[in-house]
Structure 1
Amino acid sequence: MTQFNPMVKPLNQISREPTGNGWNIEYEYFDCQSDVLACLTYTLFQDNWHQIGLGHLEQGSVLELEFNEAPKKCVLYDGYLTVIAQEWHFHLCIEETLGGPDNETPPEQRQQRLINKGALYRRINPEGEPRSWGIQFWNGAGEKAMTIFLPNPYIEDENLLPDGKANFAKLDFYHELRETYVLGTKQLPFTKNPFKCSYVAVCTSGRCYPSQKWQPTFEALLSAVEKAKLHIEVRTTGCLQVCKLGPVAFYSDDKTWYTRVQPEVAEKIVSEHLIQGNKVIEYIYPPV
Structure 2
Amino acid sequence: MSEFNQWVTPLKRTVSEKTPKGGTIEYEDFPTTIDVTGPLLYTLIQQQWQQVQIGHVVEGGVLELEFTEPPKLCLIYDGYLTVATPAWHLHLCLEKNLGGPHCTTPIELREKRLLSRAALYRRLNPEGVAKSWGIQFWNGAGEKLMTIFLPNPFLGEDEDYLPVKKAEFSKLALYEELREIYVLGTRPIPFNSNPLKRPYLSVCRSSRCYPSRKWQPIFDALQTAVKTSELDIDVITSGCLEVCKMGPVVFYSGDRTWYTRVNSDVAGRIVNEHLLAGVKLSKNLYPK
Residue segments in structure 2 that go unaligned for 5+ positions in a row: none
Q: CA deviation at 1:163?
A: 4.2
Q: Secondary structure at the match of 2:213?
A: coil
Residue 226 of structure 2 is matched in structure 1 by 225
Q: CA deviation at 1:229?
A: 2.6
Shifted more, 2-11 versus 120-129: the winner is 2-11
- Distance 1:208-1:92 versus aligned 2 partners, 3 A rule: farther
Deviations 1:146-167 (A, max 9, x none): 0000000000221112441000
Q: CA deviation at 1:277?
A: 2.7
Residue segments in structure 1 that go unaligned for 5+ positions in a row: none
- Distance 1:102-1:35 versus aligned 2 partners, 3 A rule: farther
Residue 17 of structure 2 is matched in structure 1 by 17
Determine if contact 1:210/1:246 at 8 Å carries over to the other structure: yes
Letter in 1 for 2:16: R
Determine if contact 1:11/1:31 at 8 Å carries over to the other structure: yes
Deviations 1:64-89 (A, max 9, x none): 00000000010111110000011110
Percent identical across equivalent pairs?
57
Determine if contact 1:54/1:64 at 8 Å carries over to the other structure: yes
Residue 124 of structure 1 is matched in structure 2 by 124
Residue 201 of structure 2 is matched in structure 1 by 200
If each structure's helix is expressed as a fraction of its own residues, which one has the higher value?
2
TM-score, normalised by the number of residues in structure 1: 0.94
Q: Secondary structure at the match of 2:278?
A: coil
Determine if contact 2:204/2:212 at 8 Å carries over to the other structure: no
Residue 27 of structure 1 is matched in structure 2 by 27
Determine if contact 1:32/1:115 at 8 Å carries over to the other structure: yes
Structure 2 Cα separation of the partners of residues 14 and 239 of structure 1: 42
Q: CA deviation at 1:110?
A: 0.7
Structure 1 Cα separation of the partners of residues 212 and 149 of structure 2: 43
Determine if contact 2:102/2:243 at 8 Å carries over to the other structure: no
Deviations 1:224-265 (A, max 9, x none): 222333322211123333222111001222322111112232
Structure 1 Cα separation of the partners of residues 280 and 229 of structure 2: 17
Determine if contact 1:273/1:279 at 8 Å carries over to the other structure: yes
Letter in 2 for 1:207: R
Q: Secondary structure at the match of 2:7?
A: coil
Trace 1:107-146 onto structure 2 (pairs within 5 A): 107-146=107-146
Q: CA deviation at 1:177?
A: 0.6
Deviations 1:266-288 (A, max 9, x none): 1232333233332222111126x
- Distance 1:268-1:17 versus aligned 2 partners, 3 A rule: same
TM-score, normalised by the number of residues in structure 2: 0.94
Deviations 1:191-227 (A, max 9, x none): 2221222321111223344332211211121122223
Q: CA deviation at 1:103?
A: 6.2
Q: How many residues align?
A: 287
Structure 1 Cα separation of the partners of residues 135 and 169 of structure 2: 18
Trace 1:127-166 onto structure 2 (pairs within 5 A): 127-157=127-157, 158-166=159-167
Structure 1 Cα separation of the partners of residues 2 and 277 of structure 2: 25
Q: CA deviation at 1:4?
A: 2.1
Q: CA deviation at 1:90?
A: 0.4
Letter in 1 for 2:199: S
Letter in 2 for 1:147: T
Shifted more, 171-180 versus 7-16: the winner is 7-16
Q: What's the RMSD between the two structures over aligned residues? A: 1.6
Shifted more, 220-229 versus 165-174: the winner is 220-229
Determine if contact 2:222/2:268 at 8 Å carries over to the other structure: yes
Trace 1:182-193 onto structure 2 (pairs within 5 A): 182-193=183-194
